[in-house]
Amino acid sequence: MNENLNGILNVYKEAGWTSFDVVAKLRGILKTKKIGHGGTLDPSVTGVLPVAVGKSTRLLEYMEAAGKIYEGEVTIGFSTETEDADGEIVSKTPVERELTESEIDSVMKNFIGKIKQIPPMYSAVKINGKKLYEYARAGQTVDRPTREITIKSFVRTSPVMTDEAAGLVSFSFKVECSKGTYVRTLAVDLAEQLGYAGHMSKLQRTVSNGLMIKDAVKLSEIEVAMEAGELSSLMYPAEYAVSDLPRVNLTADQFEMARVGKKFAEDDWVTDETTDSPVIKSNKSEFLLTDLSELTRDKFAAFYDDKLIAVYMKHPEKAGIWKPNKVLV
């Protein structure tokens, strides 16, 4: 087994593959067990699937939590049991009037910000120890708790296309959203607010963890690179796994504290009158803590000499204290 590999792969997931299928295939190609993906994609969805290899798998939780960008298509006029193009039709509402671009754009704005969403029945969310799609395949419907998600942007990216004979309207969109967002449910809810049944007819993830679809590589390309001994040319450093977190560059003294798991206390941060910069006091010395304003987030990535040292988080019980969530050196 090859246990020396370490880094992030920007995999292009093709249609028909589950995210688990991709990881299983890569275990064979790379001859290592330490592999995991950073955010599930449905089998019909294509695009960027970040994959962590080796020690980088310790960072999977940050990859999964990162925001993503998707591009897809909404079709209005009928809904499906799976909320996408793969499911059986469950409701038809032919569009017999003009749906204007301004009307659609106005309704799309309603979804910007923090919103509530109910996971679809055909999803892997667990209720009472059983996945929702297992209930759905058995013909059962169960109550699902709402979840809060964040939509940073949701815009139409094509003209509105009308099929008068079929009573259908469709258009392309782009959405930037938080972890846990079901884009197909977003499409269904958009259609509903417009007064019709609808579904997500296409979807592709174009950005995740700072990895872009234009740079994504297929499994076949990874296999060729591996056989040629050129896998390193496709591997990104582990730092890409925390690209969604604020970055704080540590000084040498801060590095010594972080590498042994020391906590930082906000009360220790003061302003150095000679430099008008925030500093943190320790028993040994005073030293600069850069990007202090970034700590408005609940986590930050601590770097020293351009290398990821640790991820810090707000202490869950002690106000004003930052504790290491994960130390990587």
Tokens found for residue 286: 């005073």
Q: What's the token pair of residue 195?
A: 């007064």
**Known active-site residue 42:** yes
Which of 21, 42, 86, 244 is an active site residue? 42
- Residue among 289, 322, 301, 325 nearest 238 (CA): 301
H-run or E-run covering 76: strand 68-76
Give the Å distances, CA to CA, from 323 to 111, 116, 146, 194.
Answer: 34, 30, 30, 47
Residue listed under structure tokens 């969310």: 125
Measure the CA–CA gap between 34 and 93, rounded to whole angstroms.
48
**Exposure string over 205-214, b if 16+ CB within 10 A, otherwise e:** bbbbbbbebe
Q: How many Å apart are CA 256 and CA 304, to the nearest integer?
A: 10
**By the 8 A CB rule, do 273 and 45 touch?**
no
Task: From residue 126, give the alpha-carbon distance in Å to each of 18, 123, 146.
Answer: 18, 9, 13
User: Which residues are annotated as catalytic?
Assistant: 42
